[in-house]
Structure formats: structure tokens, C-alpha cells
Structure 1
Amino acid sequence: MQRVCFQLQVKPDRIEEYTRRHASVWPEMLRALHETGWQNYSLFLRPDGILIGYFETDSLAAAQAGMAATEVNVRWQAAMAEFFENLEGSPDEGFVRLAEVFHLEDQLAALDAVDTIHLEFTPTPTEK
């Protein structure tokens, strides 16, 4: 599963309306996102308009292509494009992807693997 985090800039004078529109996303848009593999999808908005999005998917390219093929996404992206500054393309493809530098579960799993190996190869006091 890929974890995808991205950033966009909402125009400061449009933050209130952007927030209102996301309080009640079109039902067909919600279904399309779900059906095309956008899982655990969240948006976070700072008071200055910095928008951070996060979702999980099996394939970013497939999730984006799946949404691009839906009529509802074409309408939604056209309706949302006016809210963003410095946007090249539609919001769902013009975002800046952020690099993941830390994930707790990955590091814990790696630590558990090292601990398991250490335990398997550490002689007990009676084996010395």
C-alpha cells in the first residue's frame, strides 16, 4: 500500500468556501474516490491556506487514472480549481507530492525484525 501526502495552496480569501464545500462532498464523488482506490483519504487545512492531503492506495497512477475517467471527477476538479493558487493542471494531478521521511509502523517492524534475529542468535547462559 502506497501512502501519498500532498500539498496545495488554497487562496486565503477562499478558505471559508473551500471548507464549506468539503463539509458535504457530492455523494457520487465520494463513491468514485472509494471505487478507484483512494483509501483513508484526509485533507488538513492551515489558517494561511496551506492544504495537506493524505491517502493510501495500491497505485497512485491507477487511482489518478481511475478518477480521471469519471465524469463526476471532471466536474469536481473544474469546480475546485478556482480555489487554488499556482496550480498547474487539475487539483488532483497538480499537487506537490511530499516525500515520506518517517513512518512509525515501518520502523517498529524493522526494529522487531532486528530484535527477533538478535534473540534467535544470542546464546543463553547455559549454551556458553
Structure 2
Amino acid sequence: MTKQIAFKMKLLPGHEAEYEKRHREIWPELVTLLKDSGVQDYSIYLDHETSTLFAVQTVAGDSSSQDLGNTEIVQKWWAYMADIMETNPDQSPISLPLKEVFTL
């Protein structure tokens, strides 16, 4: 069974192009980890006015990318992205889950 989850994060203003560049060059081992963990589809959208990132994932099973923070590759990715995003003390992005209110 698959499910969708959505969450938002915050990009530091002025780093939109760098954020997009880093994701165009996403590390293959990170992609493999996500797919092996059941993430079937992962899209991130940017609201330029607020620098808010809106992410949607289709996942199989009970986990998502949000459950991979204990892996070395995800921790390296967090450190790589920490200079352009709002983060927690462990360098993970501040990520707020969003409640689904409508599906067609």
C-alpha cells in the first residue's frame, strides 16, 4: 500500500538557485537510499515569495525520507544543505508535516 505525505521546510532567502543546483546534482547513493526505503516519488516545490519549500512524497510502507536521519548519507546531505536552509541543531532541516485536507 502506498501513501502520500507532505511537509514544508524553509529556504534562506537568496539561495533558490543554489538549492535547485544541489538537487539537480543529487548524490546517486542518496537516491538509492530513498528508493530502497520505499520513497517512490518525491517532489519539492518552492514558493518564491516566502522561501517556503513544499515537499510531497509517495511512499510504500510506513517510512519516508523523514525516517532516514540516522543514516550516514542523510547526515552528510543535511550538513551539505545546512548553509542554505533553516535547520535544527543537528543540521536536519526544520520540517513541518502538513495535514491532507482534500484529495481528488
TM-score, normalization: structure 2?
0.82
Aligned to 1:52: 54
| Contact 1:32-1:70 at 8 Å conserved across structures | no
Aligned to 1:125: none
Higher relative contact order (CA 8 A, sep 6+): 2
In percent, how many aligned pairs have the same letter? 31
Distance 2:77 2:9 in 1: 16
Aligned to 2:43: 42
TM-score, normalization: structure 1?
0.69
Q: Which structure is higher in helix share?
A: 1
Unaligned runs of 5+ in 2: none
Aligned to 1:99: 99
Tell me which stretches of 4 or more aligned residues in structure 1 moved more than 4 Å: none
Query: Number of matched residues?
Result: 99
After superposition, the CA RMSD in angstroms is: 1.7
Q: Which structure is higher in strand share?
A: 2
SS in 2 for 1:83: coil
Distance 1:28 1:38 in 2: 14
| Shift in Å, 1:81 | 2.0
